[in-house]
Amino acid sequence: MGSVLVDPTKLSELNLTLIPGQLDFIRINNGPMVCAPSSNGVSRGVFFNENPLKESFNVFILQVILLSVAYKIVHHFLRPLKQTSFVCSVLAGVLMGPHLLGRLNIFGKAGLFPKKELIITETIGSLGIAYFIFINAVKMDVAMLWRSAKKSTIIGSMSVLLTWSLNCVALTVMRNPDIRPGFFILLFCSGVSVTRFANLASALDEMDILTSRHSQMALSASMLSELFTWMSLICGIIYRQYSKNPVIPAWLLLTVVAIFAVGVFLRCLAKRIITRLNESGLVYVSEALITSILVLALLMAFVTDLVGSLHLGILVMGLVIPDGPPLGSAIVERSEYMVKEFLMPLFYVMVGYTTDFTSIPFLEMWWIALFVIMGAGTKFVFTLLGAMAVRQDFRTALLHAVMSNIKGPMDLYLFMRWKNHKDVGARTHAILVLSHVFGTAITIPLTEILHDACRKWDMSDRRSIKAIQTSANDREFKVLCCVHSKENIPGLISILEASKGSPSSSILSAVIVHLNDLVGRAAPLKLRNDKLERKVETNESDAVAHEFESFIRKWDDPIELTNYIVVAPYRTMHESVCDLAQKEMTTLILLPHRTSALAAAASAAMNNLNCGVLGQNPCAVGIFVNKGLGRSLGHDTFSSDVRVAVIFSGGHDDREALAYAIRMLLHPAVHVTLLRLIVRCPNEYVEDMLERKRDESLIKEFWMKVKENPKTAGYYEEAAVDTMSTLNAVRTLGDSYNLVLTGRESTVISSIFEETIGTMKLWGDNPELGIIGDFVASDDFNEGKSSALIMHRYPCRATALSRKRSQDYDGDYLLG
């Protein structure tokens, strides 16, 4: 006998009768049924003497509001402890559940979430986790499995397979009565042993370390875990049906094959749609297409739920949609926020409602807690050994071992399905949820700490740091050019041509990196773009590579060119750029500067990238402010002389600018003029004689170039005593220069402006350009007609000037 909800107004249609004196129960065919009061779902209001909280819809709205407030409060207090939204959301759900604040009689004796209204919350929460699986499947790059490096394969295999094997042995020995025996033990151990790609990618993205090389390797390894999960999922479906009827698995296997065949068809259809979108030049994907795909995802979930697994169909539907623009990114952009901020919190309430932490008999259930701790420790050890087996240093191996224990909502969904199918008991389910949430709460801060330690170690151990000053004897002068859009190409090509040098100098080669924001993908992408046939009309990355190749091919001595595509979030894209520069051993990174024509969001993204590269650059960096260099000269070849000015006041950044200008002098069409600022050193500064010696040595080298060919090189000096005299000295360059080079940092220049203005924080709109660089790049200099290249070198251990008081220097001191 069962119970259902029935509208009393329809009792006559169903031939039902009320039990006298008991309005809550009715009888149908000798079986009891629960009768709910008739309701329209929405109250007419208190003015009609109706209680709004008696209606399900009003209760649901209030529940959503309270959940949102609870999440924001928990997130506010836990975010300083470096906790992700997953931990905060689960704790908020548990907090509002029936075992804590849910006990409050806000809606009567039933508490915060009455069972009558809980069916709405449960239904929408189930819809939320279904779309969460779909969106993460859309963002997943299946090809990442085949691109996984040997190191990632070894780490992932040891992390999953060895942990799973040991867990199976341990659980079999324990003979847990709260876990279904037999084949399910294998499925249970696979569920608690894997590191899911969606969980890891979401956590790393929140920690802003998604693009680091350590995170990339961890994501590649987690893809093997996903493959293992999919295989376990199919085996689990077959197992469940086999226990009912041995004949069913054969039909079930055919059904799974049919589902994947439909997936292949839909994949081809999606690619065809993308091709038509690209051919038509449409950037905007229609709402009708997005809605159709979302509805089709639910249809696939409905079909596969008939054979025992709702999330298999929606997972397949997500995987068949190609990640990234235009289709995958459009789906993610228009649906992810609603799913994460509205639907998923209701899923976490379901977790909190079905998990009673207060009734766990720890004295009786110590073995399952021991198993969970042992499983996490085993995974930690095997991942650590796997990372060290591929010759990772101990810090990096430790980081991988910690990241392998990051959990997320996919695990909680799996635990809930186990409980609903009575594969595990309520007490085991509660311990699993508790251990995974608090384990992740411990793992996330450790991951951030270890990642920062590994990053600092990488930066301090840069034996291959390259600079223009020290590249004269190198066989190759390699420049990495960052390209955001086609507008950056003319100026960068002009800079590359001026950098060609002479047959006796080091050979010029270029690495062209087309930068794309990460939208519609879960993992960043860093890929060589060496296609023989490029789709220039439909693919912007191909168009960028083709344009560089077509112009460089026209030069008398074409250079070696390597093209890359980088897809990453702009807030962490600098890590991808720096890793690529370190891998390619480049001498210089050229970064386009933001322009006033860009939107505020795009301008902020470019500025964030430039500042990030300046903070951890492995070589020299040049921020290029283009005021029409390529457009005025043409970029087939220099049609006229290029006049370059260098502003020099001393220091490692100014030496980088001068060293680059000396290389440009080797081009017959380039004329270089050096303006040396004779700066008065304040009393509290003492000159570093080693830095001054380096300055004088480079100045002497430039003087030799002036004497060899006075027509292509010039030199003069100006005094810089205070702020106005420094700016007036720079203005003496006039308006006859196409390009102005200067260093970003100069301690003596900073001291002059600090004395005059009082604080350096108030100077300029572009602090990433430095003081002189910001002035040269502004419209106040040469009416904004001269392009600027601001050079920066990773600071040496010896600083240019030591800030200290000294009685040996009690007067004005002139440098130079």
Residues 323-375: tens digit of each pLDDT: 777 787 888 888 888 888 888 888 887 787 777 766 666 665 667 777 778 88
pTM: 0.70
Distance CA 622, CA 495 (A): 11
92 with 64: CB under 8 angstroms?
no
Helix H, strand E, coil C: the string for 513-547 is EEEEECCCCCCCEEEECCCCCCCCCCCHHHHHHHH
More confident residue, 816 or 51: 51
- Asked if residue 281 has pLDDT above 80, the reply is no
How remote is the C-alpha of 283 from its chain's centroid?
Answer: 23
Top mean pLDDT of 125-139, 527-541, 748-762 is at 125-139
Distance CA 66, CA 62 (A): 6
383 with 401: CB under 8 angstroms?
yes
Distance CA 65, CA 69 (A): 6
Query: How many C-beta atoms surround the C-beta of residue 542 within 10 A?
Result: 19
CA–CA distance from 550 to each of 276, 512, 547, 554, 558 (Å)? 27, 13, 5, 7, 10
Mean pLDDT of the region 268-292: 78
Mean pLDDT of the region 268-281: 78
At 466, list the tokens. Answer: 């390259």
- Asked if residue 531 has pLDDT above 70, the reply is no
Encode pLDDT of 404-432 as tens digits. 888 888 888 888 888 887 888 888 888 88
User: Can you give the pLDDT at residue 248?
Assistant: 65
In the 8-state DSSP scheme, what is residue 286? Answer: P
729 with 781: CB under 8 angstroms?
no
Q: What is the dihedral of CA 749, 752, 753, 757, to 10 degrees?
A: 170
Distance CA 352, CA 525 (A): 37
Provide the mean pLDDT of the chain.
76
Distance CA 397, CA 388 (A): 6
More confident residue, 134 or 118: 134
2-6, 123-127, 266-270, 802-806: least confidently modelled range: 802-806
- Asked if residue 796 has pLDDT above 50, the reply is no
**In sequence order, what are the residues at sequence separation of 6 or more whose Cβ sits closer than 8 angstroms to the Cβ of residue 480?**
510, 511, 513, 577, 580, 581, 584, 586, 588, 589, 590
Report the run of H or E that residue 176 belongs to, with start and end. none
More confident residue, 361 or 644: 644
275-279, 386-390, 585-589: least confidently modelled range: 275-279
Encode pLDDT of 208-217 as tens digits. 787 777 887 8
Nearest to 483 by CA among 590, 567, 625: 590
Report the run of H or E that residue 73 belongs to, with start and end. helix 56-78
- Number of H helices and E strands in the chain, helices first, is 28, 17
Distance CA 315, CA 221 (A): 20
User: Can you give the pLDDT at residue 358?
Assistant: 65
**In sequence order, what are the residues at sequence separation of 6 or more whose Cβ sits closer than 8 angstroms to the Cβ of residue 323?**
138, 139, 140, 141, 520, 521, 522
136-150, 566-580, 737-751: least confidently modelled range: 136-150
Mean pLDDT of the region 145-165: 76
List the domains of the chain with CATH numbers.
1-38 (no CATH), 74-457 (1.20.1530.20), 470-624 (3.40.50.620), 641-816 (3.40.50.620)
- Asked if residue 633 has pLDDT above 60, the reply is no
- Asked if residue 120 has pLDDT above 80, the reply is no
Phi, psi for residue 649 in degrees, rounded to 5: -125, -5
Query: How many C-beta atoms surround the C-beta of residue 619 within 10 A?
Result: 25
More confident residue, 505 or 154: 154
Question: What's the CA angle centered on 228, arms 226 and 231, to 5 degrees?
Answer: 110
- Asked if residue 590 has pLDDT above 90, the reply is yes
Encode pLDDT of 241-251 as tens digits. 665 666 666 77
- Asked if residue 90 has pLDDT above 90, the reply is no
Mean pLDDT of the region 8-37: 46
In the 8-state DSSP scheme, what is residue 569? Answer: -
Nearest to 567 by CA among 616, 615, 511, 519: 519
Alpha helices, H only, 84-207: 85-95, 115-139, 144-147, 150-157, 163-174, 184-193, 197-206
- Asked if residue 801 has pLDDT above 50, the reply is no
Encode pLDDT of 306-328 as tens digits. 766 667 778 888 888 887 777 87
User: Can you give the pLDDT at residue 808?
Assistant: 34
Distance CA 563, CA 594 (A): 22
Distance CA 327, CA 324 (A): 7
Report the amino acid identity of residue 346. L
DSSP string, 302-328: HHHHTTT-HHHHHHHHHHHSPSSTTHH
In the 8-state DSSP scheme, what is residue 572? Answer: T
Cis-peptide into 326, omega within 30 deg: yes
- Asked if residue 192 has pLDDT above 50, the reply is yes
Mean pLDDT of the region 121-142: 82
Top mean pLDDT of 44-58, 351-365, 441-455, 795-809 is at 441-455
Helix H, strand E, coil C: the string for 140-157 is CCCCHHHHCCHHHHHHHH
Distance CA 617, CA 652 (A): 14
User: Can you give the pLDDT at residue 623?
Assistant: 92
Residue 108 — pLDDT band, cuts 50, 70, 90? very low
Mean pLDDT of the region 502-509: 75
More confident residue, 628 or 385: 385
